Amino acid sequence: MKPRLVLLDANVIIEAFRIGVWDRLVARVEVIVARSVFEDESVHWFVPATGERKYIDLARYASEKKVRVVDGSIASYAGIRKRLPRSLALHTGELESLAWLTESDEPACFCTADRAAVRAAVFLDLSERLVSLEVLLEDHAVARSAGGKLRPQFLERLLKDWRTQAQIEKLQAGH
């Protein structure tokens, strides 16, 4: 599928910075970010080995038109919540991202490495719009920096497993 327009979750943004591919990614793909992710959820990350805090300046990328910030409507939030299992806990950025996807006519894919967000996407009939960071990077020939190994939750095989499990859960729930 080679998605050209991609809505990124905070965990994907942080991972792209962590493995040193962010600049190459935004040069090859039109990146969309929910406002809550832009303002609150992806402002920094920690280097595990040292505990050093690394800051992410998404505002610079937005001002350079390399990242577009979008808003999901409050009405969509409420509608989405009614369609999801009560036990499903989503971060604000994931909820806003899914709200935007459900109300937008743009053919964006959603790149996340959060199991709850994948489950929600399946329940909202958005499973075909999910893409793993692994596939996104491979499809657009974005090479990883030395030592830039993706963590398991960003791999296609895990996304497929989560999607399949959520589809089974959705069928069992009668949705």
| Structural contact between residues 135 and 111, judged by C-beta atoms closer than 8 angstroms | no
Domain boundaries, the chain: 5-172
Q: What is the pLDDT of residues 27-51, one digit of tens each?
A: 999 999 999 999 986 677 787 788 8
Beta bridge pairs of residue 111 = 8, 131
State the pTM of this model.
0.91
Distance CA 41, CA 44 (A): 8
**CATH of region 5-172, choose from 1.10.287.610, 3.10.310.50, 3.90.79.10, 3.40.50.1010:** 3.40.50.1010
**Per-residue confidence (pLDDT) for residue 1, from 0 to 100:** 55
